[in-house]
Amino acid sequence: MDVKDSNGNLLSEGDSVTLIKDLKVKGSSLTLKRGTVVKNIRLTNSPAEVEGRAGGSTMVLKTEFLKKA
């Protein structure tokens, strides 16, 4: 299963990614700003999502809003 970022680059376990858009976090007043770097991502069962620590907590991020750092 290939996991790709918004530019079509392959992502793998432990990569760092950058947000390309401000994202509101569901269930929280937190907004992750564009340009935020999420280090050491983990792949999930879905090719459209990765897991990583951002804003002090672990969350699932959609790959369409990420680019490889």
Per-residue pLDDT of the chain (69 residues; tens, 9 = 90+): 899 999 999 999 999 999 999 999 999 899 999 999 999 999 999 999 999 999 889 999 999 999 999
In the prediction, which pLDDT does 4 show?
96
In the prediction, which pLDDT does 20 show?
97
* Sheet strands (E) in 1-69: 3-4, 10-11, 17-19, 23-24, 31-32, 37-38, 42-43, 49-54, 57-62, 66-68
Q: What is the DSSP letter of 33?
A: P
In the prediction, which pLDDT does 1 show?
80
In the prediction, which pLDDT does 5 show?
96
pTM over 0.85: yes
